Amino acid sequence: MAIRTPLALLAAALTFAGTAAVPAATTTASAPTTERSGGSSAYLPNDLDKEQNQRLERQLAAAKAQARADKADGVAKAPAAVTTVYYDATDAPSFASEVSGTEQIWNSSVGNVQLVEDPSRATLYFEEGSSSNGSYYQGDGHGSGLIFIDYDQADVYAPLRIVAHETGHALGLPDRYTQPCSKLMSGGGPGPSCTNAYPDSVESAEVDTIWQYGVALRPAA
């Protein structure tokens, strides 16, 4: 089953902008407009996950290694600016409240990256529908790509947890299905009864580490 590709994503000029920092530094990165980089991560274990998870694990490990090296060198940790990831949820109208809730959850859990709804500047897109792959995130794990929310899965599993989990991938976290419900990135692993939609402190710290360098660690196209 082919992964769907919204034309809006292909056509969008992908732009990141720093905001809310003092001084008001602005970072902008260009991204491919003809092809989406990165693989897919799903809510439940399946074949989509393997390469993408390895990619996200490497990205996280690289960020942690950089942070350790900087600490050892006595380099100040402060990022140049909080990075804003703009999103467009126009194509996920049934899940508007879950997307909004996800924004609040992540923005209250991390400090180095923030989610803001603004379709005119979006690099991250939410879309709803039916897919044999269930819900998934497809993209580079660094603020761009597509979060697809599957109707059947959202009837069985907690929709807010699904949306927050897939957004966790967009912010750089890999799947960890065998972990407990207290972990957001265990996804559907703990089963449908798990409704926790918040990252724990370790997951939040990992996202902050990944975004400590703004767009600098964004994978090459």
Q: Which residues are catalytic?
A: 166
CB of 141 to Zn ion, least distance (A): 11
Q: Is residue 41 at the binding interface for Zn ion, with CB under 5 A as the rule?
A: yes
- Beta pairing class for 82-91 and 136-138: unpaired
Beta strands in 108-214 (DSSP E): 113-117, 124-129, 136-138, 145-150
C-beta of 41 vs 204, nearer to Zn ion: 41
Candidate ranges 18-26, 27-35, 38-46, 99-107; the one touching Zn ion (CB under 5 A): 38-46
CB of 168 to Zn ion, least distance (A): 7
147: its two tokens: 């979060």
H helices of the chain, where? 7-11, 49-72, 96-109, 151-156, 159-170, 201-210
Q: How many residues bind Zn ion (CB under 5 A)?
A: 3
Which residue from 79, 141, 145, 187 is in contact with Zn ion, where contact means CB under 5 A? 187
CB of 28 to Zn ion, least distance (A): 29
Residue 9, CB-side half-sphere exposure with 13 Å CA sphere: 24
Residues 166-185 that bind Zn ion (CB under 5 A): 175
C-beta of 137 vs 213, nearer to Zn ion: 137
| Residue 34 backbone phi and psi in degrees, to 5 | -105, -15
Candidate ranges 34-42, 67-75, 145-153, 211-219; the one touching Zn ion (CB under 5 A): 34-42
What is the C-alpha to C-alpha distance for residues 47 and 131, in angstroms, rounded to an integer? 14
The contact set with Zn ion (CB under 5 A) reads: 41, 175, 187
